[in-house]
Amino acid sequence: MIGSRLKPALAVALGLALLLAWRCWQVLHSGAGLHVDEAQYWYWSSRPLDWGYFSKPPLLVGLIRLSTDLFGHGLLGVKALTMVAWLLASAVLWRLGAAMGSERAGLIAAALLAATPASGLLGLSATTDSVLMLFWSLVMWGSWRAAHAEGAVAWRWWALTGLALGLGLLSKYTAGALSLSALWLLWRCPPARRGQLLAGLALAAGIAILLLLPHLFWNMHNGWPTLHHTLDITVQGGAASAADRAAGWGHKLGSAAEFGLGQLLLLGPAGLAVLALAWKRRHQPVAQPATTATPALWSALGYAWAFAWPLLALGLLQALRAKAQVNWALPALLGICLAAGWLAVRSKISGKVLATWVLAGLLLSAAIAQGGDLRRWIGRPAAAGKPAWDIWSRMRGWHEALGALAPALAPHRDLPWVTSDRTLLVQTGYELRALQPELRSWSPGGQVRHHFDWKQPLRPEAAPAALVFLGDETPDAALLALYPLARPLAAVESGRVRLQAWLLERPGTALATLTPTGQHP
C-alpha cells in the first residue's frame, strides 16, 4: 500500500523537479532582466519590510526577501520561490483529486495546469499571481477535506483553509472572490449539512481576517492606499478607461470577447483538447468514479467549477464595464484544470493522448518564452524595424545600459538620484544595487502616480543642493527651474533602452561649477 502511494508521489516530484530545472535554464539563458513589477517588488524587499505597499499586499515582497536571502540577488534568486509556488499549485491539485476519489484525475489536472501557457510564462516571473495560485489551490483542497471530515479532523482542516485564505488575501485581493465560491457551495450542499459547513466556513473566515488585520491597520494608518489603488484599476477602471466606460456596446462586447479569448489562450492547447474530447464523447459510456467512505457533498465537476465560474463572471463583467486584464481571473484555471482532469477520467481519454497534448502545451510555452532568443541563437536576429517575437522585449537592455552608465554615476553616489519614470527608478535600484543609490521620484505635476511618488518624492520645498537626474530625455523645465545649473554626465543606449544622466545644481552651492545656461564658465 505504501509502495502504491509512493510511486505517484515520486513521479509527481520528479516531473515537477525536471520542469523547475527547465524553467531555471530558461531564466538564465533568456537574456532578459526583471520586469518592472519584479524590480519594484525586489526594491521593496531590499528595504525594511512593511505590512503593505501602495499597490500590493505584503506577502510577495516578504517571499522575495526570503528567496534572495537564500539564493542571492541574481535573477534566479529573485524568482526562485515564486517559480516553486506555481509548481506546488499543480501538486496540490493532484492531492485534491486523490481526496475526491480519483488520483488519476488529480494527476491529469496537475499536468494540465503545468502545461498551460499561464504556468509556462508567468511561472518564470515573480508576480503576485504565483502565490495567489498556490493559496487558492490550498483553499480548494482544504475546503474539500474539511467538508468531508468529522470532529477535530474537520476543524483542523478548516483552520488550515483559513490560513491559506488569509495568506491568499495577503498575496492579492483577488482571493476575496473565494467568498462567492463558498456561498455557492454552501447553497449547493445538502441542507442537513449546511449548519456544520457554515460553522467551518466561519472559523476559516475568522482566521483569515486575523491574518489580514495587520495589513488592514497599516492601510488605515496610511489612508488606505492599497485599497484605493485596487478600486481605481478594477471597480473604477482607472482614468485611462473613462472613454472605455463611455463607449458603446460594440466596444464593450469587443472588450468582453478579448477577455474571453485571453482565458482560452491562458488555458492553452492541452486543457482545450481535453475539454473538446470530453464534449465529443459526452454521449458515450463514462467511467464510474471510485466510491469513497464518506458520500461527497458535491459532484466532482460541480466542486471544480465552483472555483472557476465566479471569478470568470467577475472578469467578464469588468470587461463589459471598462477593461479587464487577462490575468485577473487566473485562479479560475485551477478549477478548470480540475474539471478537465475529471472529464478526462470519465471520458476514458488515454494516457498517450493526454501525454501528447501536455507535451504540446509545454513546447508551446517554451516556444513563446524563448521566441526572442531563437533568432539570436541561430544567428538570424530580426531585421531593423521589423517586429521580433519576444514577449520579454521590455525586460531587455536595462542591465547593459545601466551597467554602461555606472562609471559616470559612481562618483555621485552620495547625491540623490532622481527620475520621473517608475520603471527607470526600480531598474536602477536593482541593476546598480552595489552602489546603493538614494533614489527619488520626480512628479512635475505633484500628483501621486505610484509608490515612489508617495514614499520617496523629490519635494521642491525640500530639494537638495544638487542631484543626479536620470531619464530618456533632458530634464524637464520644472526641474531646471529648481536646478538651473545642468551638466550632462553620460548618455547610453542598449536596444530599446536609451538613458541620459545629468548633474543638476543650484547656484551658489559648493558643487556649482556651471553657468545658468548649463555651460562651463
**SS3 per residue for 220-239:** HHCCCHHHHHHHHHCCCCCH
Q: Using DSSP bridges, classify how beta strands 497-505 and 485-494 pair: parallel, antiparallel or unpaired.
A: antiparallel
305/353 same-domain check: yes
Please check whether residue 111 lies inside any domain of the structure: yes
Phi and psi angles of residue 415, each rounded to the nearest 5 degrees, phi first: -90, 155
Q: At what angle do helices 59-71 and 36-45 cross, to 10 degrees?
A: 80
Shared-domain flag, residues 199 and 276? yes
Distance between CA atoms of residues 233 and 215, nearest Å:
20
Whether residue 337 lies inside any domain: the answer is yes
Q: What is the pTM of this model?
A: 0.92
Beta-strand relationship, 438-441 and 485-494: unpaired
Sheet containing 466-471: give its strands across.
Answer: 438-441, 416-419, 466-471, 497-505, 485-494
Q: How many domains does the chain have?
A: 2
Same domain for 130 and 269?
yes
* Cβ-contact 275, 304 below 8 angstroms: no
Do residue 124 and residue 171 come from a single domain? yes
**Dihedral through CA 446, CA 452, CA 456, CA 461, nearest 10?**
-10
Nearest to 205 by CA among 217, 213, 193, 214: 213
Domain boundaries, position 431: 397-505
**387 lies in a domain?**
no
Is there a domain that residue 307 lies in? yes
Claim to verify: residue 271 and residue 186 sit in the same structural domain: yes
Strand-pair category, 497-505 with 466-471: antiparallel
Q: Does residue 349 sit in the same domain as residue 409?
A: no
384 belongs to a structural domain: no
What letter does residue 491 receive in the DSSP assignment?
E
User: Is 259 in contact with 316 (CB distance < 8 Å)?
Assistant: yes
pLDDT in tens, the chain (521 residues): 455 567 888 999 999 999 999 999 999 988 899 999 999 999 999 999 999 999 999 999 999 999 999 999 999 999 999 999 999 999 999 999 999 999 999 999 999 999 999 999 999 999 999 999 999 999 999 999 999 999 999 999 999 999 999 999 999 999 999 999 999 999 999 999 999 999 999 999 999 999 999 999 999 999 999 888 887 776 655 544 555 555 577 778 888 899 999 999 999 999 999 999 999 998 887 776 665 556 899 999 999 999 999 999 999 998 888 777 888 999 999 999 999 999 999 999 999 999 999 999 999 999 998 877 776 666 666 554 445 678 888 999 999 999 999 999 999 999 999 999 999 999 999 999 999 999 999 998 889 999 999 999 999 888 899 999 999 999 999 999 999 999 999 999 998 999 999 999 998 765 544 434 344 33
First to last CA, the chain: 87
Q: Specify the DSSP class assigned to residue 119.
A: I
* Residues 401 and 478 grouped into a single domain: yes
Clarify whether residues 421 and 484 are in a common domain. yes
